[in-house]
Copies of this chain bind each other. A is one copy, B any other.
Amino acid sequence: MMNYPNFAFQINFRSQTSKARLGRLVTPHGIVETPAFIFCATKAAIKGATPQDMWREETQIILSNTYHLMLQPGPEIVDQMGGLHHFMGWRGPMLTDSGGFQIFSLGHGSVAEEVKGRRHSSRPKSLLKINEEGATFKSYIDGKKHVLTPERSIQVQRSLRADLIVVLDECTPFHVDKAYTEKSMHLSHRWAERSLREFQRGEAGIQALYGITQGGIYPDLRKVSAEFVNSLPFFGHAVGGSLGADKSQMAEVVEMAMEPLDPSRPVHLLGIGGISDIFYGVKQGIDTFDCVHPTRLARHGGALVPPQVWESLGENPKGREHMNLRNARFREDPSPIDASCGCQTCKSVSRSYLHHLLKAGELLAMQMLTIHNIHFMNRLLKAIRNAIASDKLDQEEKKWVA
């Protein structure tokens, strides 16, 4: 077993009624109480919030995307500036991904959406070649050719210096058949071994490596892949590969992926951040989640709200996880987004004001809604942790999901 000095994952409490657990993920930049939500600072910046805004709204951990930073400003610049934490002024724990997801999703022109079972997009295909060596792709910035190998991904992530880093894998669209999924899984396993070897050449105690469990929607493959990652000295695991075509299949796949995974390691669920998905994942033993949804939604005028907000408006909250402040109904509404929310936005302005800002096209609308949604997610995960501690997760879920 590999040693990860300066890192630890302590499980302090296990639910009796589900696989939910309370953990402490210890990193050189601080401790993350799990389950936790990881916010996406894709290009080393949260769109609409400063690091100080993030701290004030009680954010524990953020991530950046290796793919974007590799192309702009480039890992050399980030390294020269002292690594991501110093570069962007964020002093808490950080994760970077391998760069693979964006290459494959932009490359296939649709997998980013497909993996999560969403609609097809029409982005240009930029993935030129996948072979044993790695993936060749064109930069979305200047069209230049780049090769991302498992070794290169680790080298770039070493330069970026996030606390938690991830092996390179092949991300397949959900529609591929079992034969392709199996072939791809074995390729990803070989890439994982190469990633780990490259990682072990570096200095210990600065970063911790996550392996990724593959196998798509096939239970037997999920088992093979879990046993494979369990056998290698990864610090943690991420649930990768196709999660299926829709939410119900995703639930099944997460369950079959989690079942055989080493329960002593922290598990991250890649790219999932819906409120009901988080409750489901937590009950399957997922420790961390990430998704662009809360911050992206904010930039489009959406504020995350619990069912109680719809009830106070005399409406059925069923299936609604956010409120669109562009809606004319909020024009003269003097209430804050959510009277029970303690974020800076809810403490200072009304729905009417936010509606005005959105109508007037003011930048500040995005900032204020981003602050609210960040606070909402941190408050949600805190409520989840408290509910796990008292083994009342199902009751808690009713307060957040209608």
A interface residues (Cβ-Cβ under 8 A, vs B): 43-52, 68, 72-73, 77, 80-82, 87-89, 299, 331-332, 334, 344, 348-350, 352-353, 355-357, 359-360, 362-368, 371
Contacts and interface: CB of A to CB of B under 8 A. Distances in A.
A43 B360 contact: yes
B359 A72 contact: yes
A356 B46 contact: no
B88 A349 contact: yes
Among A52, A77, A356, the most chain B Cβ lie within 10 Å of the Cβ of A356
A317 B350 CA distance: 45
Contact of A73 (B47, B352, B366): B352
A362 B44 CA distance: 9
Contact of A47 (B49, B81, B344, B363): B363
Given A73-B331, A334-B81, A353 B48 contact: no
A126 B27 CA distance: 60
Among A89, A331, A344, A371, the most chain B Cβ lie within 10 Å of the Cβ of A89
Nearest to A361: B43
A359 B334 CA distance: 39
A371 B363 CA distance: 14
A364 B44 CA distance: 10
Among A45, A49, A81, A334, the most chain B Cβ lie within 10 Å of the Cβ of A45
> What number of copies of this chain does the assembly contain?
2
B352 A50 contact: no
B45 A362 contact: yes
B364 A47 contact: yes
Contacts of A334: 80-82
A350 B364 CA distance: 24
A52 B352 contact: no
B356 A89 contact: no
B77 A331 contact: yes
B364 A50 contact: yes
B73 A359 contact: yes
A87 B43 contact: no
B88 A362 contact: no
Nearest to A50: B367
Contact of A349 (B89, B353, B360): B89
Contact of A362 (B47, B350, B359): B47
Contacts of A371: 50
Given A73-B352, A73-B356, A366-B363, A50 B344 contact: yes
A350 B46 contact: no
3 cross-chain pairs, A with B, having the tightest CB-CB distances, nearest first: A89-B348, A45-B364, A73-B356
B81 A344 contact: no
B356 A77 contact: yes
A354 to B, nearest CB: 10
Contacts of A73: 331, 352, 355-356, 359
A45 B352 contact: no
A397 B350 CA distance: 43
B72 A360 contact: yes
A391 to B, nearest CB: 38
Contact of A50 (B72, B81, B368): B368
Among A50, A88, A331, A350, the most chain B Cβ lie within 10 Å of the Cβ of A50
